[in-house]
């Protein structure tokens, strides 16, 4: 996959994520009526939307960071060791910042919690 294609893919995903974020924001504007006896389903939906908004916002950040790397010309380089990441890996995980070796061992700064989060995000 060429860098141009990857950039287009990232931009498409970013636009879609922004659309989702917009929809969730609208959903969150309609606050459920707590405490009126009928609100339990409404507040559950609202809380779900809130949780999803957080993960979409995180996704947008990741995509923006990847696009920034594309524009800076550093896309595809491992953030940890500077090695070129295998294009096949980038095709599957376009927002990855680590080569397979570093992804396995993990850079010292990455906590196991944020690593688990990024794996969830990648899995969709």
Looking at the Cβ atoms of 41 and 112, the one nearer to Zn ion is 112
Output 56 or 96, the one with its CB closest to Zn ion: 96
Instruction: Give the nearest distance from C-beta 98 to Zn ion in angstroms.
Output: 6
Q: What angle do CA 115, 70, 123 make, to 5 degrees?
A: 35
Least distance between Zn ion and beta carbon 103 (Å): 8
Of 104 and 124, which CB lies nearer to Zn ion in the complex structure? Answer: 104
Return the number of the residue (36 or 92) whose C-beta is nearest Zn ion.
92
Binding footprint of Zn ion on the chain (CB under 5 A): 78, 80-81, 83, 99, 102
Q: To the nearest whole angstrom, how small is the minimum distance from the Cβ of residue 120 to Zn ion?
A: 21
Annotate 47-74 with b (16+ C-beta within 10 A) or e (fewer): eebeebbeebeebbebbeebbebbeeee
Distance in angstroms (rounded) separating the CA atoms of residues 39 and 82: 52
CB of 107 to Zn ion, least distance (A): 8
Contact of 99 with 81, CB cutoff 8 Å? yes
């Amino acid at each position: 996959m060429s860098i141009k294609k990857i950039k287009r893919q990232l931009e498409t995903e970013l636009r879609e994520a922004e659309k989702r974020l917009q929809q969730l924001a609208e959903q969150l504007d309609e606050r459920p009526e707590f405490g009126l006896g009928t609100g339990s389903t409404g507040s559950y939906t609202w809380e779900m939307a809130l949780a999803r908004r957080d993960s979409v916002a995180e996704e947008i950040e990741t995509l923006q960071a990847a696009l920034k790397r594309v524009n800076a010309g550093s896309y595809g380089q491992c953030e940890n060791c500077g090695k070129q990441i295998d294009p096949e890996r980038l095709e599957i995980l376009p927002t990855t910042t680590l080569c397979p070796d570093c992804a396995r061992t993990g850079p010292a700064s990455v906590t196991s919690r944020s690593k688990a989060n990024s794996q969830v995000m990648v899995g969709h």
